[in-house]
Amino acid sequence: MIHSKQIHSEGFSIINNVFTENEIENLISLIENATQKDSDNATFRKSQDLFAIRQFHKEVPETLAFIFNENLNEIIESNFGKGYFITKSIYFDKPEKSNWFVAYHQDLTISVDRKIEVENFENWTLKQNQFAVQPPTEILEDNFTIRIHIDKTTKDNGALKVINNSHSKGIIRIENLDFENEKETICEVDKGGIMIMKPLLFHASNKTTNNERRRVIHIEFSKQQLPNGLEWSEKTIFQN
């Protein structure tokens, strides 16, 4: 399952049939148990249009045994190599009648354990006792994200849309993209499939129009050592 050429050239790749029906059902069961037990948890965000669990791999660690199955481990190693670790994870549940949408953007920040002055680390924020910062571009260029699809995701229930190859342009403002000459792809993914994407790829999602739920586990990876004692706040080694 080598998709590295497409990931490099287009900034993303879709791979279906990574998880079995049984593995997906186990993930759903573990997530539902966690949310019922701890619904007041500060890392849980709930609204009419979206339910999210931040630091998902720490809040529901039992899921890791199902997430890092033989298929996913082989995909990571064959496309990126060894030495990567989890730096961030979020579970998104977009309900059937959700009006939630996300405008085009790049993923420019990482989660770190403290705020210290480090050259070329900028645009610091603090939300719910979690520091985020924009690191140097070369760190973002080496990182990647895997989105695990718990439900079949189509253009009608908020599948991501992306601007092909936009990750190759570095960090740029959206208004500097020439949309008339850019290729846009709607990334439809089957239940049990994944989407791999680079952080600098411009991506967005629309409102749900078909009354179908969309649940996704979003996991970010890096192998970069941060400078000056700065550390990834959610760093977790997985077995591959």
User: For the segment 50-69, what is each residue's pLDDT rounded down to a tens digit?
Assistant: 588 999 999 999 999 999 99
Q: What is the mean pLDDT of residues 158-177?
A: 94
Tell me if 208 is assigned to some domain: yes
pLDDT tens, position by position, 74-109: 999 999 999 999 999 999 988 766 677 889 999 999
Tell me if 59 is assigned to some domain: yes
CB 234 within 8 A of CB 111: yes
pLDDT tens, position by position, 10-52: 999 999 999 999 999 999 999 999 888 655 565 565 555 558 8
Distance between CA 138 and CA 37 in Å, rounded? 40
| Domain count within the chain | 1
The residue with tokens 């997430």 is 67
Tell me if 84 is assigned to some domain: yes
Report the CATH number at residue 15.
2.60.120.620
Tell me if 232 is assigned to some domain: no
pLDDT at residue 45, as a whole number: 57
pLDDT at residue 43, as a whole number: 55
Tell me if 239 is assigned to some domain: no
Tell me if 237 is assigned to some domain: no
pLDDT tens, position by position, 184-212: 999 999 999 999 999 999 999 988 888 88
Tell me if 228 is assigned to some domain: no
Dihedral sign computed on CA atoms, order 202, 207, 209, 213: positive
pLDDT at residue 128, as a whole number: 79
Strand partners, 122: 134
Q: What is the mean pLDDT of residues 167-173?
A: 94
pLDDT tens, position by position, 141-152: 999 999 999 999
pLDDT at residue 230, as a whole number: 96
- The range of the structural domain enclosing residue 28 comes to 4-222
Strand partners, 118: none
Tell me if 181 is assigned to some domain: yes
Q: Apex CA 235: angle with CA 146 and CA 68, to 5°? A: 45
Characterize the bridge pairing of strands 214-222 and 203-205: unpaired
pLDDT at residue 50, as a whole number: 59
Dihedral sign computed on CA atoms, order 86, 194, 159, 190: negative
Give the pLDDT band (50/70/90) at residue 131.
very high
Using CB atoms within 10 Å of the CB of residue 34, give its burial: 0 to 12 exposed, 13 to 18 middle, 19+ buried.
Answer: buried
Distance between CA 140 and CA 83 in Å, rounded? 16
Instruction: Name the amino acid, one letter, at 222.
Output: S
Structure tokens at 30: 């573990």
Q: What is the mean pLDDT of residues 114-120?
A: 95
